[in-house]
Amino acid sequence: MLMGSTADPLENVKFIDTLLRLGVSYHFEDDIKNQLETIFTSHHNIFSGNHHDLNSTSIVFRVFRQYGFKMSCDIFNKFKDTDGKFKEALIDDVRGMLSLYEALTFSTEHLKSLAKKSSPHLAKQIANALDQPFNKCPPRLAARTYISFYEEDDSRNETLLNFAKLDFNRVQVLHKQEISQIARFWEDNKFSSEFSYARERYVEVYTWINSLFYEPRYTQWRIIISKLLVLISVVDDTFDAYGTPQELQRFVDALKRWEIGAMDELQDYTKLIGKTVLVIFDEIAEEARKIGRSFCFPYAKDALIALVNDYHAETKWYHDGYVPTFEEYMSVAMKTSTFDVLLMISFIGMGKMAGREAFEWMQKDPKIMKALNIIGRLMDDIVSHKFEQLREHCPSSVECYMKQHGLSEKLTLKEFEKILEDAWEDINEERMRPTAIPGDLLVLHLNFARASYLFYKHGDGYTNQEYVQDDIRALFLDPIPT
């Protein structure tokens, strides 16, 4: 299909963009990367010429950046006046401004005004872009939405449209089967009765991991990591809302020993958690062994122990009545976003591209990891801090920042907006070539940030499912009509 595209570099990039947005690019990844490499090396300068409009230029910029090619923002200089502002003549270019919004960050107010005077088709696309920006929306969900827009596009390729629909529905069936296995894991371990205080969120957990990688080839790792995250969620609720300081200390100590005998010495509820942790990690070790990657296992185990240590630190703050500084809080709470351990295990499933150097790089807490953890922690705290304080939780980033800087909640949240935008920029910049580790691994960091945006953009979608239930239905329940 790709080989049937034109010799025109611009049309090739636009076609790749369509494949990407329809969610079928994973079938052609090698071909796409080869073509973009050739175009960027031999032809990218032509895109700065005056014969390409704003829409085309924005698509080119976004596609190359999406694949880690550092396309310069100077490509947009031809659309600016002598004051460095976009020319007035562009103000009514609805499609161009929408593409520019998806490629770059700029004020949403003009885009909102354009929506009011554009066609219903474009108005819907603008509304969706404002609610789920292309660079912040999980790829699978973005594809589901874009397919409906593409179907109304007069220039659509019918063959490609039908292929995208069939592929989405085919993969959706697989995802449903995976969810049923996570549900069986929850039921077989009697989590509802054994941990009545814990949130039953295995579908939401699976949605997080599905956002990380949705392709069929990762089915086994999606199931394993989802099981672990289900258990981590129980551990989180145990530390937050149930266990006593003494019981939790004994659990942490037993986990560090990492043996079944240590778990037998615990109370019934922590004993069950500890033993289930060891069972899941035995499964991880076996899967790693099968693919010749046993060297990866210690990194994942160490990351889990570090996570539990950080949960315990937060609990001690609450019981001691201690309000840390914002920086002290973030040094611990960024890690309780759970991304470190989940990414360590995901790296195992990514195969040979994640060599030992990738795990050692992760242990050094690189810039992209810090940015991801900032996004996960701050977005969570912004929407959940009031509820958390009602259930006797340690102070959140919001309370810590307010106290330290003497600011109101409103001004604190304004400060957080800037911190978050800087973190998103860091994630995007760290993915530009040359990268410290293979770019396909860095996409996982971006995808987890996207999952955070999905769950926390309007409220705490993990605790209150109503914030994400429509998205979950679109992803896993309702097939696309064909």
Residue-wise pLDDT for 198-252, tens only, equals 999 999 999 999 999 999 999 999 999 999 999 999 999 999 889 999 999 999 9
pLDDT at 478 over 80: yes
Specify the CATH number of the domain 168-477: 1.10.600.10
pLDDT at 255 over 70: yes
pLDDT at 299 over 50: yes
Helices and strands per DSSP (H, E), number in the chain: 23, 0
What's residue 387's pLDDT? 66
Lowest mean pLDDT among 105-119, 155-169, 380-394: 380-394
What's residue 50's pLDDT? 73
pLDDT at 477 over 90: yes
What's residue 275's pLDDT? 97
pLDDT digits (tens, 9 = 90+) for 234-247: 999 999 889 999 99
Give the list of residues 6+ apart from residue 360 with CB closer than 8 angstroms, or none. Answer: none
**Any idea what DSSP says for residue 266?**
S
pLDDT digits (tens, 9 = 90+) for 3-40: 455 678 999 999 999 999 999 999 999 999 999 999 99
Q: Which helix (H) or strand (E) holds 378?
A: helix 367-390
Q: How far apart are CA 29 and CA 24, in angstroms?
A: 9
What's residue 106's pLDDT? 66
pLDDT at 44 over 80: no
Give the list of residues 6+ apart from residue 375 with CB closer than 8 angstroms, or none. Answer: 420, 423, 424, 427, 449, 452, 453
Q: How far apart are CA 367 and CA 426, in angstroms?
A: 7
pTM here is: 0.96
Give the list of residues 6+ apart from residue 196 with CB closer than 8 angstroms, or none. Answer: none
Enumerate the CATH 1.50.10.130 domain ranges in the chain, comma separated: 9-131
3-state secondary structure of 49: coil
Q: Which two tokens stand for residue 89?
A: 């003549």
C-alpha radius of gyration, the chain, whole number: 23
8 Å CB contact between 241 and 197 = yes
Q: Which two tokens stand for residue 23?
A: 């969610």
Enumerate the CATH 1.10.600.10 domain ranges in the chain, comma separated: 168-477
What's residue 328's pLDDT? 97
pLDDT at 432 over 70: yes
Please state, for a pLDDT cut of 90, what percent of the chain lies above it.
85
Lowest mean pLDDT among 1-10, 100-109, 445-454: 1-10
Q: Give the alpha-carbon dihedral of 32, 38, 40, 41, to 10 degrees.
A: 160
Residue 415 CB burial class (10 angstroms; 0-12, 13-18, ≥19): middle
Residue 470 CB burial class (10 angstroms; 0-12, 13-18, ≥19): exposed
User: What's the fold here for domain 9-131?
Assistant: Glycosyltransferase (1.50.10)
Nearest-CA neighbor of 366 among 431, 307, 314, 422? 431
Nearest-CA neighbor of 234 among 176, 281, 190? 190
8 Å CB contact between 224 and 207 = no
Nearest-CA neighbor of 342 among 221, 453, 443? 221
pLDDT digits (tens, 9 = 90+) for 145-167: 999 999 999 999 999 999 999 99
